[in-house]
Amino acid sequence: MPLPQIRRPPDTPRGFDEWTLQHQAHHQAIISAALAGKNTRLILYQIWPFNPNAAQNWLLQHQQQHNDMNALYGLNGSDLTSVDFAKQRDADAFFDIHWREHQAIAAVCGSPI
């Protein structure tokens, strides 16, 4: 899963759904790299599909996924739970911070960037 595809959702009616599918694929690639490189099984949390009516649940599961990955690789993470996707400024900050975390994890685990 090339990392640039998860930098931000496409500007289409289904953009966020497309993004969450690609995003989960990148998480799966990181999990595969952890198994191959560290012989460690990480849990794949339910982060696709995204249900806007249950955003808090998605945010918590997604945060736990990042916490697990960051802990395994000794990386510092960010709080990815305090975003209101309806506010463009929040969404922009989330996607930037989130993408940077994926870059850092991919760089240390050997997952495709």
- Of 51, 63, 52, 71, nearest in space to 97 by CA: 63
Query: What distance in Å separates the CA atoms of residue 110 and residue 47, rounded to the nearest whole number?
Result: 22
Structure tokens at 8: 């931000």
Give the mean model confidence (pLDDT) for residues 87-105.
Answer: 94
Whether the pLDDT of residue 1 is over 70: the answer is no
- Secondary element (H or E) of residue 15: helix 15-38
pLDDT at 67: 98
pLDDT digits (tens, 9 = 90+) for 70-91: 999 999 999 999 999 889 999 9
pLDDT at 2: 59
Query: What distance in Å separates the CA atoms of residue 113 and residue 111, rounded to the nearest whole number?
Result: 6
pLDDT at 112: 67
pLDDT at 53: 73
pLDDT digits (tens, 9 = 90+) for 19-71: 999 999 999 999 999 999 999 999 999 899 887 778 899 999 999 999 999 99
- Of 22, 18, 16, 6, nearest in space to 86 by CA: 16
